[in-house]
Every structure is written in structure tokens, then in C-alpha cells.
Structure 1
Amino acid sequence: MTSWSRHPRENLGLLIGLVLLAGLTTISVVGELQLTTAMVAAPIVASFLADVRRTAVVAVGAVLASAFGGLWLDLPMTGSYWFRVGLCIGLSVLATVSALLRDRREARLRRMIVIAETAQRAVLRSMPTAIGSVGLAARYVSASEEALVGGDLYEVAATPYGVRVIVGDVRGKGLEAVQTAAAVLGAFRAAAFTEPDPASLARRIDEALLQHIGDEEFVTAILGQFHGEHVVLANCGHHPPLLVTHAGAALVDTGEPTLPLGLGSAPVLSEHTWPAGSRLLFYTDGLVEARDRQGEFFPLDDFATELGEGPVDEALDRLVERLLTFGSHDTSDDVALVLAQNG
């Protein structure tokens, strides 16, 4: 891998700065114009994109061009001339310091992202390929490098009441969002085996979450319970799942969504037929709110029937590839996906 491909933004800043410096120097020499102070424009522009080392290279070039440009034009070495050279030096130093401070901020941000991603991987367990007669697959699509890690979550549990699943999305991003997701999953794992239905389970999670989050934080989530050819859902301000059968695909009507978890959620149960061989896709808003370069939303309906083709893991991988291709492999939000099959 070349240096340019490893650091495209920084190298672009260096290139722009050097080209600008060369242009100013050419104008000064050929046109015999006094541009002593104007040379500082090169390191200032470079500092917007380049790192401190590359900005310093342009800054040194600007100072040299400013100092020796007067000698080339045979300008009198007056106090005014050296003042302009000193001004160029001072502003070049400021441009370099600005690049240094930005580098440090970006380094701290990268460290925080690594910490959050590590915590996220510890929170989200591997999804089993099947529990009883329910086939399962899960995928997590991380946002682009420029975006902070999100708090999307999923979990499944085999309980005395049937197979239960939760898919949710924490408001906000970063390490705090991951900590909130951990609190939700901890409450789900603790209460999934004792609460009689997904609605009461959601209320238990809501009560537990209130002890961990602030007044303006919340988690949208949908909880499902599979039993035979029926699925019971409790929607807490989340996107409804997509039902895929041999006849086609359609969103499940879960009724009016109630408040998200953490805001006093009290969802109403909705029961639906889940025929043998059919599939349910649970997802977070990063899927349906993904945009392409023209600003168009991801057309889930266009690819919905493909979710019924092949094994569940291959079907989910195909959907992820469609999403990444649609967004040119650059997404602004994390996406959590769970695909469940009856039989």
C-alpha cells in the first residue's frame, strides 16, 4: 500500500500547499511582485487537510520563499521588509500548531472509537444458527470511519415461553451508547426467563434502564416471542419487522408504537401468524435511513423477497452487500439485523 493510499487527505493537503506556494513564488518572481506575507497562505491552506509534519514542510517552504524572495527581487532590507517576513514566520507557526492540535484531537477520537468498538463486541454475543425450530442469523454493520460507534443491539434467548428476541437502537453514539446497550441487554437476559410475555418483559427492561440513563436518553426496541406458527411482538417506538413468506414480503402491523424504553414504555402486544418456512427481519433504522450519493433512501422493498431465498445467513449477507453497494460502502449509522426463520 502506497503512502498516498494510506494518507490520502494528508497528502492532498501537502500537494495543495506546495502547488499554492509554487504559484505564489512564480507570480512574485516573474511578475516582480512583492508577496512576502502572502506566502503564508500556503501553510494555512495545507493545515486544513495535512498533518503537522506535512504542514511544517509547507511552512518552511513559505518562510524561505518569503525571506529569499526579497533578495531575488533586490528589495531593500528595511524594517518593514523584515516585519513582513516575521509576520509570515509567525502565521506559519500558527498554521503548524493548528495542524498539531487537530492531529491530537483526531488521535483521541480514534482511541475512543477503538474503546467503544471493543466494548461493543464484548456486549453483543454471537447469535446461534438455530434455537429449536427457529433458524437465526444476525449481522452488525458498522458505520463509516468518520462516524462514532453506535448503540445498536440484539439478543436472543430460549425461554420456557418460547424463543425471545430483542433488537434495539440507543439514542446517541459513542461509549455512553454502548454502556446503555449493555444495560438493556443485561436486563433482557435477566428477565427474559421469568416475564410471561414480551410486553411485561419490555416494562421490566424500562424500569431497569431508568436507573442507568439520563432524562433525555432512550432506546427504541422491538421484542418478539416465537412459538410454533405464531409470533407475539411488543413495539417500543421501533421500526416494525418485515415478514417474508412464499407469497411476498410486507411490514408487520404492530399497531401504534409506544414510548421507547427509558421513557416509561408500556407496549401493547400484537399477535401474528408466522407460517412454516416464513422469515422475519428485525432491523435498526440505519438500514431504512441509509442514503446514496443522490440522497435517496435504501429501497428495502426492492430486495425484500430475496430474504426468502437460500439459507438465512446467506440471505442476510446478501442484504448487507446490497446495503453497502447502495451507499458506496460508506454508512453514517450502524445497522443491526436479525433474520429468523420458522422451521
Structure 2
Amino acid sequence: MARADRWHGWSAPSVRTAFTAAFAVVVVLVGLRLTVRDESHAVSWLALPPLAASAFLPWRWVVGVGLASMAAAFAHLWVIYDFGMDGVASHGVDFLVVAVAVVISAAVAIVRERDDERMKRLTQLASVVQQAILRPIGERLGPFDIAARYVSARSGAEIGGDLYEALNTDYGVRIIIGDVRGKGLDAVRLSSTVLGSYRHVAFERADQRCMVNDLDHAVARNAGDEDFVTAILMQERGGTLEILNCGHPPPMLVRDGVATYLEPDSMAPPLGLSPAAQELTVRLQPGDRIFLYTDGLAEARKDGEFFPIRERAWSLIGHGNVGDGLASLESALRRWVGGPLTDDIALLLLDYRPETG
């Protein structure tokens, strides 16, 4: 939308409404003073509308509110002193207060608009980087209806160390979900390294255990001494799901209204710490749903109580469109937490529908 129609997230009708509200404050203040016909230095109160407007209106509109305040101050004194200039002239200091407030308000609005524009550009850049790292996943992949969702804990910057990918290869549908230890750009770089390596070896390696070794070496070469990546590698071939878990929260199988965790007998360490993952095999049935997530969901809590993922899995993600299911889950999670999330979350939901593949 053109700049003339939108200012930093405010639509033109919203700006006009805000301007009208600020102008109404001017009218109300003048009306109150005229009601009591007080000759004290009440004009300085009219500095408040432009100061308040500077918090949300564009600077040109702030100046408009300020000029309205000064005009109202003149009219107020003109009426109070029986339509004479003596009272107006004697309140020069009050006019100066309002004028200075207008200048300060306009300056504040200009700085705020520049900061808003800078934040907007950074948010757009973060979105581009995020899309380059986490490529969009189609709605259908092999025998699965599939949906992916990235939930950022930070407002205005959807970028972090959580990762996922889903590929249709000669060896079947292959999926990875993972979480890089740490935050910031180092986590993003390591996430990009893992995904880049995975996108290569997923088409080259017939055995997932060899893929784990390749990814482990990639992490070890690029990570710090205390860095690692928890991950789940999963592939489907002929209705059989093969899962390798490297220190990651276990996936969930939702079948016939019941949610169960798919956990191996022993947990392997994360990538970067030489995992020797034990393969878990599950025979799928039409209508089965596989839910994968990162520990931002597993560790979300309210007053020390964890979000009841398994208990609410069927009602939230067990039926209906998989994309709508993840949206419902995110909404329920935010209501549960009742505040900002403490960690990013990556979500994948697969609905096994081989008859439509």
C-alpha cells in the first residue's frame, strides 16, 4: 500500500480518527475553561494534545494538532477577556509554552517515525532470511497432508535457531525437525548449516543413520565447544515410519482420538555430540497424525504448570485441516501462557492419507 495511505502500520482512516480524537481533546479543554471563565494561566494545558499526539501520529498531523491548540488558546483568551487583545497579549508566556510543546512534539514524532521505519526494514529483512532458511512446505507431500508453523517468541523478528524440512526423495518422504542450542545469529548460522547439509544428504544417503553421522560432523565442524542441535530424522516408506531421535522432544502419534509419544528405549545425544540413535519403527494407518515440535512448546508453562499437549492433542490437531490445527494449537498455547513466549517454536503436523497420494 502506498505511503499516502498508510503510516507505519496505521491506515489512513485510523490516523484520521486519531487526529479527530486529539482535536476533540482541544475542544473539550477549551470548553471546560470557558465554562468557568477562569483568567488563570490555563492556556498552557493546551500543550497536552500535541504532546499526546506525538506518541502515535505522523509529525505533520502532530503539527496540525499543535496549531489547533494554539488557535484554541487564542480563541479562549479572546472570549475570556471580552473579545479584546489585552488578555491575549498578557499571556505571551502561555503561547510560548504551547509553541515549544508543538516543536518538541513534532521532533519526537519524527524520531519515532524513523525508528518505526528502521524496525520495519529490519523485520522485513528477518522475514526474508527466515524464508531463505526455512523454505515453505507444500500442503501435500507423498502420502501426507502437511503443515508447518514457526512461532516466534520475539515480536517483530521471526528468526531463530529452530529448524524443519520435508523432502520427497527416492528413499521416501524424509523429514527433519531440530532446535539449535543458544540464541541469536550464531544459532541462525548453525541452523542454516544443518538444513543445508540435510537437503544434500537426504537425496544421497539410503540409510538415515548415515545421514545422522553426516549432520553430526557438520555440526561439530561449525559449532562452538558447548553448542549442539537436538533433532528428529524421520522417513516414510510404504506405510512404515522410521524415526531417529537425537536428544529432541519425542514426536506424537494421534490415532483414533488417543495421543501417544513415540519414544525409543534409549535417547541418543544431540547432533554435535556423536549420537548413535536407535531407530524406532511405526506402522501407519490411514488417518494417523504425526506431530513434531521443538522444546519451546514442551517447556511452555503457566504458574509452573506445563501446557497439556497430549491431553489436548485430539481436540486441537486430531482432526480437520492440518494448517487450521496448528493455528488452533498456537492460539490455545498463547491463551494458556497468558503472556509472551520464552522460546521460539517450530511445529510440523502430518496427516497420513495414502489413498489421496
Q: Give the TM-score of the pair, scaled to structure 2.
A: 0.70
Secondary structure of 2:149's match?
strand
Pairing partner for 1:25 from 27, 30, 52: 30
CA positional deviation for 1:335:
4.4
Contact 2:230 2:270 in 1 (8 A): yes
Contact 2:127 2:157 in 1 (8 A): no
Secondary structure of 1:269's match?
coil
For residue 137 of structure 1, what is the amino acid of its counterpart?
A: I
Report which stretch shifted further, 3-12 or 37-46: 3-12
Q: CA RMSD in A?
A: 4.4
CA positional deviation for 1:102:
1.4
Contact 1:240 1:251 in 2 (8 A): yes
For residue 38 of structure 1, what is the amino acid of its counterpart?
A: W
Flag the 1:318–1:255 CA change in 2: closer, same or farther, 3 A: farther
Gap runs ≥5 in structure 1: none
Match of 2:245 in 1: 234
Contact 2:216 2:273 in 1 (8 A): yes
Greater Rg, structure 1 or structure 2?
2
Match of 1:275 in 2: 283
Q: Deviations over 1:103-124 (max 9, x none)?
A: 2211222222223323333331
Does the alignment pair 1:66 with 2:73? yes
Match of 1:203 in 2: 216
Pairing partner for 2:103 from 90, 93, 107: 93
Flag the 1:47–1:226 CA change in 2: closer, same or farther, 3 A: same
Does the alignment pair 1:317 with 2:328? no
CA distance in 1, matches of 2:78, 2:49: 20
Show the 5 A alignment for 1:6-25.
6=11, 10-11=15-16, 13-25=18-30
CA positional deviation for 1:186:
0.8
CA positional deviation for 1:54:
2.8
Secondary structure of 2:56's match?
coil
CA positional deviation for 1:149:
1.5
Report which stretch shifted further, 31-40 or 137-146: 137-146
Task: Give identity over the alignment, percent.
Answer: 25
Contact 1:165 1:224 in 2 (8 A): yes
CA distance in 2, matches of 1:217, 1:8: 50
Gap runs ≥5 in structure 2: none
CA distance in 1, matches of 2:19, 2:307: 36
Contact 2:27 2:72 in 1 (8 A): no
Pairing partner for 2:311 from 301, 308, 326: 301
Flag the 1:297–1:206 CA change in 2: closer, same or farther, 3 A: same
Contact 1:166 1:221 in 2 (8 A): yes
Pairing partner for 1:104 from 94, 114, 121: 114
Equivalent residues, number: 326
Flag the 1:136–1:155 CA change in 2: closer, same or farther, 3 A: farther
Show the 5 A alignment for 1:1-343.
6=11, 10-11=15-16, 13-33=18-38, 34-74=41-81, 76=87, 81-123=91-133, 124-127=135-138, 129-131=140-142, 135=144, 137-140=146-149, 146-151=155-160, 152-157=162-167, 163-169=173-179, 172=183, 181-192=191-202, 193-194=204-205, 197=209, 199-210=212-223, 220-226=230-236, 229-236=240-247, 238-246=248-256, 248-253=258-263, 264-267=272-275, 269-277=277-285, 278-284=288-294, 297=307, 301-304=311-314, 307=317, 309=319, 315-323=321-329, 326=332, 335-339=346-350, 341=352
Flag the 1:331–1:77 CA change in 2: closer, same or farther, 3 A: closer
Q: Deviations over 1:49-98 (max 9, x none)?
A: 2232332222221222234433332264567x322311221122111221
CA distance in 2, matches of 1:172, 1:12: 41
Contact 1:167 1:222 in 2 (8 A): yes
Contact 2:219 2:229 in 1 (8 A): no
CA distance in 2, matches of 1:215, 1:21: 62
Q: Deviations over 1:231-275 (max 9, x none)?
A: 232234x432111234721223357877766xx444452433312
